[in-house]
Each structure stands twice: as structure tokens, then as C-alpha cells.
Amino acid sequence: MEGFDKEVCRRLPLAEAALRMLDYVCQDEFLQAVFAKHHGRSYEDLLTFSMLVRLVSDALLEYEGSGRQAIKRAREAGELESCTRAPYGKLARVPLCLSLGLLAEAVCRLNELYPQAVADKAAPKSLRSPGPSRTCAATSSS
């Protein structure tokens, strides 16, 4: 982390916490496990699911939503071996089961970071859900 990002994190601890949680969810081993479990009919070749997630993350966080800039930087850094158009095609073909699987698994992974002391406290009545509580045990693979 350099320059502006470092200064933002120094001044805004919540921003740093959010970026660290995103890094935790975007670890290659985790994303590989999500892909293995939820890939449906999709496959990996030169462009892996982990790289696709990283490109989307970089586009949103570093390049004001520009996928082109994220892809260009990854190619210049030697991190992306596929052609420039491949990530667009791959993103367009991501099956719904993989998107939903990533969301479910990421929520469960983030739930691991939730402090037990806070979890044990009852929420104020105004914030309590009227329905049954849901846990991640059914969707978690680890």
C-alpha cells in the first residue's frame, strides 16, 4: 500500500478494515475452493477465477471502475497471460451458481471475523429480525 491509499488508511481506520476484509475474502486459496465447489459448467485455463475476481476488484478500487485499466496494468505486470478481451468474455459467462456461491462463501468467511463478544449481545429490539436466524453452517465448506 502506497501514497494515497496509505494516507487514507492512516486517517480512516474503517477504510483500512474494509480493505483488509476484502483482501481476506480474495485470497487465492479461498477463491480456488469457491470455484471448485460452485463452478458449474465453467472452466479455468489461462484466466483463473481468482484473477478475474482480482481484476474486478482492482477496476472498482483503483481505476474508477475501468476494467480496461485493470487489465492493462495486470498485463504490464505479467500477472495476466490471456488476451485483453478474455476477461470480458469470462465475466459475461460466469454462471449464476458461481456468483451466488462466492457471495455465500464470502459472507461465511467474513462471519469468522465477527467478534464472539459482540455476537453474544442481544440486538436492540428495533434491529431484531422477526424471522428465524440463518447460519452459514449449511453453505460453508470449511
| Segment 39-98, tens digit of pLDDT | 999 999 999 999 999 999 999 999 999 999 999 999 999 999 999 999 999 999 999 999
Cell of 42: 465453467
Any alpha helices (H) in the chain, and if so which ranges?
Answer: 3-11, 13-25, 28-38, 49-62, 67-76, 86-92, 96-111, 116-120
DSSP 77: T
Whether 36 has a pLDDT exceeding 60, the answer reads: yes
Which pLDDT does position 116 carry in this prediction?
79
- Does residue 132 sit within a domain? no
pLDDT band (50, 70, 90) for residue 7: confident
Which pLDDT does position 11 carry in this prediction?
76
- Does residue 49 sit within a domain? yes
- Does residue 126 sit within a domain? no
- Domain of residue 12 covers 3-110
- Does residue 128 sit within a domain? no
- Does residue 127 sit within a domain? no
10 vs 81 pLDDT, higher one: 81
Total domains in the chain come to 1
90 vs 5 pLDDT, higher one: 90
- Does residue 141 sit within a domain? no
Distance, in Å, from the CA atom of 90 to the CA atom of 44, rounded to the nearest integer, reads 9
For the segment 89-141, what is each residue's pLDDT rounded down to a tens digit?
A: 999 999 999 999 999 999 999 988 888 777 777 777 787 776 655 555 545 44
Whether 142 has a pLDDT exceeding 50, the answer reads: no
- Does residue 68 sit within a domain? yes
- Does residue 120 sit within a domain? no
